[in-house]
């Protein structure tokens, strides 16, 4: 099965349900001329799916799109972290609708299932809960850009405060969307080598005893040079 979404939450749900799947994301512009909100998000979900399905006619493909509605105002995917905080401030403590359209299709088997789910919810929202950090890449966010099959190497200890790291403290590494970018770690030098796999976005985190202390967005694109921006080592 193919999941046409980079959503970490959707990936977690499928994994928890026992599904084997791979992620292929579309690059469509998420717009629709439909006026009705349900028709609009269903239209966008269908467009995401169709772009993937045309080259994978024998695969089962799942695509989705979600918006939040409050007092007839629609909140889609925020453009950046600033807009996300604005959305959260507006929604926090108020009953609102979370509307998700799902489309499931297999062209060769002539299977098409469409479903729209609306949930009424009241939350005291947080940035982490509603909009995970990997969703955003601000202009000043540390970023590594990779070409497909390109590499970039860092020493993670250069980006961690010396006071946080004792001589025996081990750093833990995690990268999301490992189908887009992978890492290898040199056990002798502790250097981390990033490897571009497929076009898309990932997030690399450095943690100490479960606490994330540094985050790097990783962008893989066939047109990228292998370079980093705003990746500023801490002076020693």
Can 65 be counted among the known catalytic residues? yes
Distance, in Å, from the CA atom of 71 to the CA atom of 118, rounded to the nearest integer, reads: 15
Instruction: Output b/e per residue, 124-159; b: 16+ Cβ within 10 A.
Output: ebeeeebbebbbbbeeebbbbbbbbebebebebbeb
Question: Of the residues 65, 139, 164, 188, which is catalytic?
Answer: 65
| Residues labelled as active-site residues | 65
């Amino acid at each position: 099965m193919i999941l046409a979404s980079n959503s970490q939450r959707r990936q977690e749900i499928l994994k928890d349900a026992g599904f084997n799947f791979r992620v292929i994301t579309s690059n469509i512009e998420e717009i629709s001329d439909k006026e009705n909100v349900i028709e609009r998000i269903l239209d966008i979900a269908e467009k995401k799916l169709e772009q993937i399905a045309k080259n994978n006619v024998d695969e089962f493909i799942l695509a989705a799109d979600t918006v939040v509605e409050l007092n007839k105002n629609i909140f889609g995917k925020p453009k950046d972290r600033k807009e996300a905080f604005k959305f959260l401030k507006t929604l926090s403590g108020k009953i609102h609708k979370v509307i998700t359209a799902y489309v499931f299709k297999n062209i060769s088997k002539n299977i098409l299932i469409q479903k729209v789910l609306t949930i009424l919810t009241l939350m005291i929202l947080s940035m982490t809960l509603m909009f995970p950090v990997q969703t955003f890449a601000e202009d000043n966010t540390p970023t590594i850009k990779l070409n497909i099959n390109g590499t970039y190497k860092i020493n993670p200890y250069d980006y961690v405060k010396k006071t946080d790291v004792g001589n025996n403290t081990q750093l833990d590494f995690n990268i999301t969307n490992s189908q887009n970018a992978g890492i290898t770690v040199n056990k002798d030098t502790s250097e981390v080598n990033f490897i571009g796999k497929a076009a898309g976005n990932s997030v690399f985190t450095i943690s100490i005893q479960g606490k994330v202390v540094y985050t790097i967005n990783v962008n893989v694109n066939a047109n990228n040079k292998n370079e980093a921006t705003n990746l500023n080592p801490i002076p020693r």
